[in-house]
Amino acid sequence: MIGVTDIISSKLMKKVDNYATEKLGIPSIILMENAGLGCYYILKDKPYKTYTIVCGVGNNGGDGLVLARHLYTNGKMVYLNVIGDLDKQTENFKANLDIIKKIGLNHRVIKNSEVDLEILKSQIQRSDVVVDAIFGIGLTRDVEGIFAQTIDTINEHSNYTISIDVPSGLEVDNALVLGTCIKAKRTITFYKAKNALVDDYYHCGDIDIINIGIPYNLFIEQ
């Protein structure tokens, strides 16, 4: 059961992240590693052997890259996809994508192409699990174009989808669907739950909350 004290707004979560990096001195790439590794620990003893992972180019996508790396280096089959403008990738995303390339894990870039979506569909149909790491808690605009098509492809063909932090397309404070939204069977979130994760089981499914190394007893003004 998730209590009121276990829920945090997106605005306050951003303040917590900033406090951890700026005041506590925890490098943001360490928080990303902890997030992705925490996701791996939840999944490592499950019977799943094949994963399709779809990552945006922001820090949510970076969490997905970390998870992909740990799954791959521990013997899982990983179909890794990146969606978004690589000119806008975050520094930590780029660092993790560079590692992905060096360890030999191939990835595809989903562009505005029916061919890319057909390949994604084929990957999904061969996978036990689809991992959604496209958008995080900062999304405020409607999902459109190739992003919407990708989410719809996942929803149509995935038997079991896990979202990292929040289902992509869901506005976390008010549980609003921004155009279209991933329908996850499980959501793995960080530090504390967000309102939508409690209010919208249809899109979020079961909830796991993992500690990424930030103390829970921080006093930060709302």
The CA distance from 144 to 185, in Å, is 23
Asked if the structure places residue 15 within a domain, the reply is yes
Pairing of strands 77-83, 50-55: parallel
The CA distance from 4 to 1, in Å, is 10
Asked if the structure places residue 63 within a domain, the reply is yes
Average pLDDT of the segment spanning 182-210: 93
- The total number of structural domains in the chain stands at 1
- pLDDT tens digits, residue range 55-95? 999 999 999 999 999 999 999 999 999 999 999 999 999 99
Asked if the structure places residue 218 within a domain, the reply is no
Q: What are the CA-CA distances from residue 19 to residues 3, 28, 89, 131, 189 (Å)?
A: 24, 11, 23, 28, 19
DSSP-derived 3-state class of residue 75: coil
Closest by CA to 6, choosing from 189, 204, 221, 200, is 189
Q: Are 204 and 104 in contact (CB under 8 A)?
A: no
Asked if the structure places residue 26 within a domain, the reply is yes
- pLDDT tens digits, residue range 161-182? 999 999 999 999 999 999 999 9
- Domain hosting 64: range is 4-210
Asked if the structure places residue 171 within a domain, the reply is yes
Closest by CA to 193, choosing from 60, 62, 4, is 4
The CA distance from 133 to 115, in Å, is 21
What is the domain-level CATH number for residue 121?
3.40.50.10260
pLDDT for 42: 98
- pLDDT tens digits, residue range 90-144? 999 999 999 999 999 999 999 988 999 999 999 999 999 999 999 999 999 999 9
Residues 99-115: b if buried by 16+ CB within 10 A, e if exposed: ebeeeebebeebeeeee
Asked if the structure places residue 215 within a domain, the reply is no
Tokens linked to 96: 């993790």
Q: How confident is the model at residue 221 (pLDDT cuts 50, 70, 90)?
A: low
Asked if the structure places residue 205 within a domain, the reply is yes
Which residues have C-beta within 8 Å of that of residue 145, sequence separation ≥ 6? 112
- pLDDT tens digits, residue range 17-52? 999 999 999 999 999 999 999 999 999 999 999 999
Asked if the structure places residue 122 within a domain, the reply is yes
The CA distance from 69 to 11, in Å, is 30
Q: How confident is the model at residue 4 (pLDDT cuts 50, 70, 90)?
A: very low
